[in-house]
A and B are shown apart, each in its own frame.
Chain A
Amino acid sequence: MRTVYVAGVGSTTFGRHPDRSLRHLGWEACRDAIADAGIAPSALAAGYCGNALAPAIQGETSVGQNVFWEVGLAGLPVINVENACASGSTALHQGWMAVAGGFHDAVIVVGVEKAVMPKGMPLNVGAGEMETQLGDIFPGFFAMMAQRHALSFGTTREQMAKVAVKNRANGMLNPLVQFKKTVTVEEVLASPMIADPITLNSCCANADGAAAAILCDEATARRLGRAKVRIAASVLRSGDYDSERDLAIWDSEAKAARLAYALAGLGPEDLDLVELHDAFSICEIVHCEGLGLCKPGEGGRLLDEGATALGGRIPVNPSGGLLAKGHPIGASGVGQIAEIAWQLRGRAGPRQIAGARVGLAQMMGGAKERDARAIALHILVAD
């Protein structure tokens, strides 16, 4: 297997882009990633596009061809990837496999989404599923996880609220985020209840946006002068679908994490930053435990101690995460890679983590049998 580098990254602002098409958002991210890598577009041998909702919302299919056409890329294999919230991360995994396996020397990966819904149009994803027809909504599933976490470990609503407080504060330092406004614990708890105990400010917002990355082998990276950010692990797995599992502990995520750490030859103690899927505030607490940043049940305490804040022991979501950035579903996983690449290159501006060398990106996609449909982990290392 060959070593793979992230030679360049790009990202649009996340938020409301009512006047821009999917392809135009994707074009901007790709253009910036190509420029960042300093690579000739003709050297890109394949394109991977993560998108989750365009067939349902915009009536567009095979979005990758639209985006890469806008960038002027033709005559190459284009692979469209749908894996719910992990669509972009899965596209990245596919691109990594192609380069690591020696099939291509350089590829482009883009995640793109327009998830801000037209007024009055409900987001009705998974409408064919029994749970959805019984009124299940995504916050409800995580509400039950929060309930079980509180019962098992005593995790409080205040600790959950602190996730939103921290990530919104981090977002103040990131020009790409949707919400440039801090919140307090009191404001998070007093915001409208969505599904007990999850309040409005405990939820990320749907967003429009795109992010892109150029992946290449070591020889190409050296030629470009970009052999700096190495993919030390790329892991993708489905859930275990144990429908009677303990909802307070995410075992399938812990298994994915053990595999990622083994591939990278690193452990959670080696991480300098983590970008993870904070769709709801409880998610960050559960994922910190799943990724081994603390023991099971201690995720709430990380917030109390400031361990995951900028300047803490292990900063989590220094970009502001989805709670500040917003969530352009198929783009979010690639957006995490952009943030980590900037951090490892010392280019993260006022939110820069001094001397950051190792970063982990975590995304999950969908829900099935009380588990995730997709768990995607990437560990990036500065060489």
Chain B
Amino acid sequence: MSEAPSTPRPLQNGLYAWSEGAPVPAALLGSLCPSCAKKAFPRRPQCPACGAAMQDQPLTGAGTIYSSTTVRVPSPVGLKPPYAYGLVDLDQGPRIHALFTGAAVENFVPGSRVELVFEGVRPGGDIVAHKFRPRAAGAAS
């Protein structure tokens, strides 16, 4: 165990845009189709809609919950119940699968406004993942 256990690692390589030395990622690393403007996350090499080569596109900001659920049983990957997750329509697109954080699970219902954050995803916190938390009151839209 020569590496410091607190060094954060992404959930998977290639998921996030991350500045050297920063404690957490700056954005999701998605894809944008230069031909038809379709967006995707995680990134993919080829546009599923028109076949063009896609370009890397950082994705961040606020979004609206499309669907959600709360899991009440222990997760196979070690998350403690209850935990909530769902699908969020990012304002700049596309639809993102993510855990919810920062409020009681009952708050995450379709139509709720949320914003992207990055934080520890397992006990120990050394693995960092994208999540959505309630949009701060007073924030634009």
Contacts and interface: CB of A to CB of B under 8 A. Distances in A.
A147 B86 CA distance: 11
B12 interface: yes
A134 B72 CA distance: 15
Contact of A140 (B40, B42, B85): B85
30 contacts: A123-B76, A130-B11, A130-B12, A130-B15, A132-B77, A133-B77, A134-B97, A134-B121, A134-B129, A135-B71, A135-B75, A135-B85, A136-B97, A137-B75, A137-B76, A140-B85, A144-B68, A144-B69, A144-B86, A148-B66, A151-B110, A192-B72, A194-B72, A195-B70, A195-B71, A198-B69, A243-B40, A243-B94, A243-B95, A247-B66
B interface, how many residues as a size bin? 20 to 34
Interface string A57-100: 00000000000000000000000000000000000000000000
Contact of A143 (B40, B69, B76, B94): B69
B108 to A, nearest CB: 10
B17 to A, nearest CB: 16
Interface in B45-88: 48, 66-73, 75-77, 79, 83, 85-87
A370 interface: yes
Nearest to B105: A196
A195 B69 contact: yes
Interface of B: 11-12, 15, 40, 42, 48, 66-73, 75-77, 79, 83, 85-87, 89, 94-95, 97-99, 110, 121, 129
B95 A134 contact: no
Interface in A193-236: 193-196, 198
B128 to A, nearest CB: 12
A132 B110 CA distance: 21
A18 interface: no
A368 to B, nearest CB: 11
Nearest to A126: B76
Given A130-B97, A140-B85, A243-B95, 13 more contacts: A127-B77, A130-B11, A133-B77, A134-B85, A135-B99, A136-B85, A140-B69, A140-B71, A144-B69, A148-B67, A195-B71, A196-B72, A247-B66
B133 to A, nearest CB: 15
B110 A135 contact: no
A370 B11 CA distance: 20
Given A140-B85, A147-B110, A134 B68 contact: no
Contact of A133 (B11, B68, B69): B11
A103 interface: no
A131 interface: yes
A241 interface: yes
Contacts of A193: 72
B72 A195 contact: yes
A194 B73 CA distance: 6
Nearest to A124: B76
Contacts of A151: 110
A312 to B, nearest CB: 31
Contact of B67 (A192, A241, A243, A247): A247
Contacts of B72: 192-196
A118 interface: no
A265 interface: no
A134 B67 contact: no
A194 B76 CA distance: 13
A122 interface: yes
A124 to B, nearest CB: 5
Contacts of A135: 71, 75, 77, 79, 83, 85, 99
Contacts of A133: 11-12, 77, 121, 129
A244 interface: yes
A30 to B, nearest CB: 33
A60 to B, nearest CB: 21
Contacts of B110: 147-148, 151
Contacts of B79: 135
B12 to A, nearest CB: 6
